[in-house]
């Protein structure tokens, strides 16, 4: 009988139920869309903030003091310490490897740069930066990770293209001479890959260089170069002109390995490593010194992607390295992220509030109008509890249906929003669904609570008389 | 005739009054729904305008976004005249401009034992000396964070002190506080030194001192290496600022620091996109939601409409009655909501940005007008009631 009453009430007056249901569904759609966006936006924005570039700087621990003025290091080549390039793939094996977006090693040298091979006598006043660009790292799980300075400094704009990652190295080529004696296997030889470089826009203007031209670089160690190459300078093709808006505009950028081999006869070593990592904004807990934490706190600290805990785990895999947080970037990012996140939560909160009030009002109205019905039920001998229970069941049913429809609507809206703003739709989460359904139930019940309480106090006679 | 009209009008308003006051519960419910809608509309619109402005301020924490350097800085030896610092304006159309001038040079740094004579200092470590001065307008926007905080804390105005980066301090073995001897070309002097917290930037291996002192130590009077500027506003406004700055300083190059200006442009677009769309959708759905709730309430008026028609009310007049009632309710709800919205947006602004959002007066009439429109639209389904037959309503058939 109870069920029949509930279903009857739905079937007999579909239009009224539809209106209450529509208010509910719309309200819950607001709630779902706002919640989904608010839940998702933090991660998306954190990614956007990586366009600020690196937030961690790795330098050799044993390094001498850099004499850095305006981004240019004036130390002699043989001063200070270096770190091996070969260790770098280890960065993608740390606990936070998924948070490491990009990294790029830097080796700076001074050289004379000219447009003809003979102009080797000009002063060594041009900065040559050895680094990675569009560099591929093959990871143990079979995937490749692309990184380099084009990723750690996304504001770098190259007119043309970056140098090839293997430019200036040797390529192993198998040879099969046509007149090979029978039974002899083919051999192999090494073919040099031509050197390539990218030239900063100011330097290019000074030397009137364009993409496709050649520059000739002479490092200070001329004898070594003469012995190694048989000529005092190395010619490289300019593949692009770089606009950086900083000291790099006056520099030449080349593959790290090529710079290190020619300038220092080194095996591929760097002096600075920029790391760009996705982090969680630092709170008071994150700023504590890990040495003062107990085991539990330390675990919690190292299991949160704070910039300091990522720095800590990088230090574990790069022996002899000193990892520092670039405070200006990290803190500015944290501050803005926290604010925006809070702003969106507040907008969400307000949306929920408005939706709740409107839905509450709607369900209140639907109870008020049913005075006659309640009066009749009571006149027929139904107790206040039974009547209340019946109405609550009806409202709850409505809440679930309306909430469900609203959730679907809201998810579609959130997808549209996400795609419009970030190009990626937020994933629907169970959490939002549960919150929305719960909210729908609470709001309808609260909205109908007061009129229901009054309804249960009605004296049936005057109501039935129409008073 | 006029007498009849006057009586008519009086009757009209009397009916309206009765309609409104007949059921207090219903009046309350309607006002609540409309008021909540209006409050959210007003607060969100206000917050949206304010948040965007605040965000551009937030971006200034990233530090300088414009740098003025000598025209051809290829070898780093060229310098600017210190007088150029005064040519950089302190105000831009978008707000205050912070600026700082820096002079870089290499000095030898050594720690002086407390009781030693100046000449007893050990052999020095080479380090970069940074002389700086700023315009006292939010210096934290142009100086390295650590230095700005330190200045604030120590009220650092003495030319007898210097501040040392953490890496450099460790390298020379300085324990806080100590005396450092700095020797530049020809001059050797000792200063009280304080160690700065780590910034992760090049500041960690530099020593900071006031510009006049640095000029003397480096033997470069009245010169600076570069000027860093923190210009206000969105990326477009910064670009305009750089363009106008360039005309002020023909001997030097002003250029935006692309690391921050480009990132700011990108992030700002995203954030304002999120805000615009979220606020838009929330407003739209809130309006629809309020409308659905109001329609629900209005539908209950069937009996009233039936009665009015039964005693000879013309459909148009009956409809007008209900529309006027809805407009009045919308106006009242809008006013209440907008008033609540003022407090809401002040509270929200405080919660997010620590500063109360400045109320924008235009927002409130808009919120009230929107509420009236929503209320009238939601009374519109009553038009359908015009077709009802009074008799069947009273029989309870419809």
pLDDT digits (tens, 9 = 90+) for B193-244: 888 888 777 888 888 988 888 888 888 888 898 898 988 887 788 888 888 8
Distance CA B351, CA B358 (A): 13
At residue A386, the pLDDT reads: 79
pLDDT band of residue A111 (cuts 50, 70, 90) is confident
pLDDT band of residue A239 (cuts 50, 70, 90) is very high
Chain B contacts of A329, Cβ < 8 Å? 62
Q: Which residues contact A163 (CB under 8 A, 6 or more apart)?
A: A133, A196, A197, A198, A239, A240, A253, A254, A255
Query: How many Å lie between the alpha carbon of B2 and the closest alpha carbon of chain A?
Result: 37
Mean pLDDT of chain B: 79
Distance CA B27, CA A368 (A): 12
ipTM over 0.85: no
pLDDT band of residue A198 (cuts 50, 70, 90) is very high
Bigger pLDDT: A275 or A219? A275
At residue A177, the pLDDT reads: 65
Compute the Cα dihedral for A415, A420, A426, A427 and give only its sign. Answer: positive
B58: contact with A, CB 8 A cutoff: yes
Residue A139 structure tokens: 């990871």
Q: Which helix (H) or strand (E) holds B293?
A: helix B258-299
Q: Which residues contact A408 (CB under 8 A, 6 or more apart)?
A: none
φ/ψ of residue B178, rounded to 5? -145, -175
Chain A contacts of B32, Cβ < 8 Å? 357, 360-361
Mean pLDDT of chain A: 81
For residues A328-352, average pLDDT: 79
At residue A199, the pLDDT reads: 93
For residues A384-388, average pLDDT: 76
Chain B contacts of A324, Cβ < 8 Å? 198, 200, 204
SS3 readout for B219-256 = CCCCEECEEEEECCCCHHHHHHHHHHHHHHCCCEEEEE
Chain B contacts of A330, Cβ < 8 Å? 200
Is-above-0.80 flag for pTM?
Answer: no
At residue A119, the pLDDT reads: 62
Q: What is the largest CA-CA distance in chain A?
A: 119
Residue B74 pLDDT > 80: no
Residue A81 pLDDT > 60: yes
CA B159 to the chain's CA centroid? 37
Query: How many Å lie between the alpha carbon of B21 and the closest alpha carbon of chain A?
Result: 16
For residues B310-333, average pLDDT: 82
At residue A221, the pLDDT reads: 77
B160: contact with A, CB 8 A cutoff: no
Contact in structure between A83 and A260 (CB atoms under 8 Å): no
List B109's β-bridge partners, or say none: B125, B182
Strand ranges (E), A248-384? 251-255, 269-270, 272-277, 321-325
A74, A357, A417 member nearest B32 (Cβ): A357
In this structure, of A69-83, A150-164, A250-264, A398-412, the range with the lowest mean pLDDT score is A69-83
Whose tokens are 């009045």? That residue is B328
Query: Under an 8 A CB cutoff, do B274 and A340 touch?
Result: yes
At residue A200, the pLDDT reads: 92
pLDDT band of residue A161 (cuts 50, 70, 90) is very high
Distance CA A82, CA A239 (A): 28
Contact in structure between A85 and A270 (CB atoms under 8 Å): yes
CB-defined contacts A:B, below 8 A:
256
Query: Under an 8 A CB cutoff, do B168 and A369 touch?
Result: no
In this structure, of A155-169, A362-376, B10-24, B140-154, the range with the lowest mean pLDDT score is A362-376
Residue A56 structure tokens: 């961690």
Contact in structure between B276 and B48 (CB atoms under 8 Å): yes
At residue B326, the pLDDT reads: 83
Contact in structure between A180 and A186 (CB atoms under 8 Å): yes
From residue A7, give the alpha-carbon distance in Å to each of A360, A399, A437, A455.
Answer: 22, 15, 21, 21
Residue B113 pLDDT > 60: yes
Is the backbone peptide bond immediately before B177 cis, with ω within 30 degrees of 0?
yes
């Amino acid at each position: 009988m109870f069920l029949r009453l509930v279903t009857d009430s739905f079937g007999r007056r579909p239009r009224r139920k539809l209106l209450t249901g529509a208010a509910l569904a719309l309200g819950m759609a607001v709630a779902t869309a706002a919640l989904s966006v608010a839940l998702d936006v933090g991660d998306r924005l954190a990614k956007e903030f990586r366009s600020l570039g690196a937030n961690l700087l790795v330098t050799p621990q044993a390094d001498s003091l850099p004499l850095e003025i305006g981004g240019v290091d004036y130390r002699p080549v043989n001063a200070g310490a270096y770190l091996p390039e070969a260790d770098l793939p280890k960065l993608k094996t740390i606990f936070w490897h998924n948070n490491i977006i990009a990294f790029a090693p830097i080796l700076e040298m001074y050289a004379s740069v000219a447009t003809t091979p003979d102009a080797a006598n000009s002063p060594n006043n041009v900065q040559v930066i050895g680094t990675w660009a569009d560099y591929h790292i093959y990871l143990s799980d079979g995937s490749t990770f692309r990184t380099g300075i084009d990723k750690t400094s996304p504001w770098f704009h190259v007119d043309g293209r970056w140098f090839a990652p293997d430019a200036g190295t040797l390529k192993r080529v198998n040879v099969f001479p046509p007149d090979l004696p029978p039974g002899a296997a083919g051999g192999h030889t090494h073919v040099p890959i031509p050197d390539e470089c990218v030239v900063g826009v100011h330097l290019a203007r000074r030397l009137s260089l364009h993409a496709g031209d050649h520059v000739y670089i002479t490092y200070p160690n001329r004898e070594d170069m003469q012995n190694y190459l048989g000529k005092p300078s190395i010619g490289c093709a300019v593949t692009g002109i770089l606009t950086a808006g900083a000291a790099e505009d006056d520099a030449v950028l080349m593959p790290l390995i090529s710079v290190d081999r020619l300038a220092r006869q080194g095996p591929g070593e760097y002096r600075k490593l920029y790391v760009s990592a996705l982090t969680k904004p630092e709170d008071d807990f994150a700023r504590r010194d890990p040495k003062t934490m107990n085991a539990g706190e330390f675990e919690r600290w190292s299991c949160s992607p704070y910039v300091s805990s990522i720095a800590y785990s990088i230090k574990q895999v790069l022996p002899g390295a000193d990892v520092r947080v670039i405070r200006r970037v990290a803190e500015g990012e944290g501050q803005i992220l926290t604010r925006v996140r809070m702003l969106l939560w507040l907008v969400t909160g307000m949306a929920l509030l408005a939706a709740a009030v409107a839905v509450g009002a709607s369900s209140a109205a639907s109870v008020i109008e049913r005075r006659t019905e309640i009066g009749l039920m009571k006149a027929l001998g139904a107790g206040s509890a039974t009547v209340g229970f019946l109405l609550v069941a009806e409202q709850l049913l409505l809440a679930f249906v309306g909430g469900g429809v609203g959730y679907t609507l809201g998810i579609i809206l959130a997808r549209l929003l996400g795609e419009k703003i970030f190009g990626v739709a937020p994933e629907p989460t169970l959490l939002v669904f549960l919150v929305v359904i719960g909210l729908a139930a609470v709001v309808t019940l609260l909205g109908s609570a007061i009129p229901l309480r009054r309804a249960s106090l009605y004296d049936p006679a005057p109501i039935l008389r129409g008073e | 005739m006029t007498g009849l009209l006057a009586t008519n009008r009086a009757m009209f308003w009397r009916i309206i009054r009765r309609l409104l006051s007949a059921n207090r519960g219903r009046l309350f419910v309607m006002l609540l729904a409309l008021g909540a809608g209006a409050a959210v509309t007003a607060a969100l619109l206000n917050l949206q305008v304010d948040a965007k402005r605040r965000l551009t301020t937030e971006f200034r924490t990233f530090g300088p976004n414009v740098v003025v350097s000598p025209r051809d800085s290829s070898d780093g030896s060229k310098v600017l005249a210190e007088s150029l610092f005064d040519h950089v304006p302190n105000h831009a159309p978008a707000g205050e401009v912070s600026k700082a001038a820096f002079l870089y040079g290499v000095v030898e740094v050594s720690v002086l034992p407390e009781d030693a004579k100046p000449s007893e200092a050990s052999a020095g470590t080479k380090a970069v000396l940074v002389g700086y001065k700023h315009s006292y307008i939010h210096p934290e926007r142009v100086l390295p964070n650590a230095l700005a905080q330190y200045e604030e804390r120590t009220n650092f105005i003495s030319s007898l002190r210097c501040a040392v980066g953490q890496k450099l301090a460790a390298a020379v073995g300085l324990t806080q506080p100590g005396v450092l001897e700095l020797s530049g070309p020809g001059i050797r002097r000792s200063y009280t030194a304080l160690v700065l917290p780590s910034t992760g930037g090049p500041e960690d291996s530099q020593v900071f001192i006031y510009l006049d002192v640095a000029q003397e130590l480096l033997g470069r009077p009245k010169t600076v290496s570069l000027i860093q500027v923190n210009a206000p506003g969105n990326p477009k406004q910064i670009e305009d600022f750089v363009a106008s700055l360039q005309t002020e300083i023909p001997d030097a190059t002003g250029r935006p620091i692309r690391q921050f200006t480009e990132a700011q442009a990108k992030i700002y677009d995203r954030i304002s996109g999120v805000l615009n769309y979220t606020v838009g959708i929330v407003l739209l759905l809130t309006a629809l939601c309020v409308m659905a709730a109001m329609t629900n309430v209005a539908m209950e008026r069937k009996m009233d409409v039936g009665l009015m028609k039964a005693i000879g009310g013309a459909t148009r007049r009956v409809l007008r009655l209900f529309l006027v009632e809805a407009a009045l309710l919308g106006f009242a709800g809008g006013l209440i909501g907008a008033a609540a919205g003022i407090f809401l947006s002040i509270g929200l602004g405080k919660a997010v940005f620590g500063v109360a959002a400045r109320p924008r007066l235009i927002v409130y009439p808009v919120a009230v007008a929107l509420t009236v429109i929503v209320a009238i639209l939601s009374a519109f389904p009553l038009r359908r009631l015009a077709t009802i037959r009074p008799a069947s309503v009273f029989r309870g058939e419809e």
